Structure 1
């Protein structure tokens, strides 16, 4: 079986970086095979190891978030480490554009050690399970001193077959402009890299920050199951308290 490291090493990271720079997201079609994606969705339905959080109780919509905790199961643990390794150089370039002196270390574990020293100890990666009428409101996961500017989402059920509706929606707010919504098309086994909260945008006077949020639109029928991998941990007091509009 091909490892995630081998798979990720073969991706066109230059093209991915270009799309992230211009749009704030990059899609990775069929990163998971259909059978593997469906098997992981089945685990979300049946596992007792995931901690359930109701979106309604969090005032973030309707449906369930299923948190992994500190020890992610496979393939998500490998995905998180391998994605981070490739995204850290881009995150450092974005910091440079923002005029931020801090740089992210090369390896995820070194970054998480930095989180722990700053008392960011609450893991945020999770699966989301949305049935008919459920949705995830616009939000960001940007709590804490050390926030990684990119995260990964993936879809484990098939649009049109397993569910309808449930589109991944991004909004972008530039200074003195109205919000720009974008629907990111995802199919079974597709992944997307998205900006966590902000990305640099080059204007006439240099780079400035563009604010981004993401959501999942209302599921009209069936059941939508996805995953969200967040590279930074949250502070204890901010856990499960997302910035929401």
Structure 2
């Protein structure tokens, strides 16, 4: 049984206690920003252990088969573990402020309501009714090609990934990668090591960047560098559902 060692609301308190002003500034500057510790090592092990409980997942993707890289990931059903559900609900209102600000800068509509449930209802009404919460598993030699988690027209512009294993202890390599296509310039890349239990907020598809003519759109992609040794598992929180 998972999620019996922390009181109700503890995860929300951790997310709420984040310095959201500093985190927002970093996301605005780079398209991603690390959080503090969200999960204990015990919670990380419990979530990672769910990977073998196949009934919890709606599908399994072999990345090599689809030429996405090498490794495997599974999409949870809508019956999410409490920890996963609580984390997603805790992050949404904070990320919503950033999403609305980005839309305003780009002169785009901001369709996202105040409540996550309302937004997911809109996704389902548009035909995106499948859970997109992901548990990823990489072994030595595995990697994830640069990509975007866009599953239809209904898109939330930010995601969160949380490391479930300890870098340098449980695995080596496997840095989280991002590339940004800058207007009239070469692409910029970044690599982030995910500490166990810590999260990284990052851009789903594109973000606003300042230019001499105002704001323009910078497309972004993410992936994972080759795992050199050990096993690397992560939890991916996506705030829109899939077709």
Normalising by the residue count of structure 2, what TM-score does the alignment of the two structures yield?
0.92
Alpha-carbon separation, structure 1, partners of 2:77 and 2:54:
13
2:86 to 74, 78, 91: 78
Distance 2:174 2:111 in 1: 36
* 1:103-118 correspondence to structure 2 within 5 Å: 103-118=111-126
Residue of 205, 213, 228 corresponding to 1:197 = 205
Equivalent residues in 2 for 1:1-245, closer than 5 Å? 1-2=6-7, 3-50=10-57, 51-235=59-243
1: distance between equivalents of 2:163 and 2:15?
A: 17
Deviation of 1:45 after TM superposition, in Å, equals 4.1
CA distance in 2, matches of 1:10, 1:109: 23
Worse-superposed segment, 109-118 or 36-45: 36-45
Give ranges in structure 2 of 5+ residues lacking alignment: 1-5
> Deviation per CA, 1:175-217, whole angstroms, max 9, x where unpaired?
2211111001211111100000101001111010011000011
- Cα distance in 1 for partners of 2:55, 2:127 equals 28
Shift of 1:116: 1.3
CA distance in 1, matches of 2:233, 2:92: 23
Q: Which runs of 4+ in 1 moved over 2 A?
A: 42-51
Q: How many residues end up aligned between the 2 structures?
A: 235
Q: Provide the TM-score with structure 1 as the length reference.
A: 0.91
**3-state SS of 1:101 partner:** coil
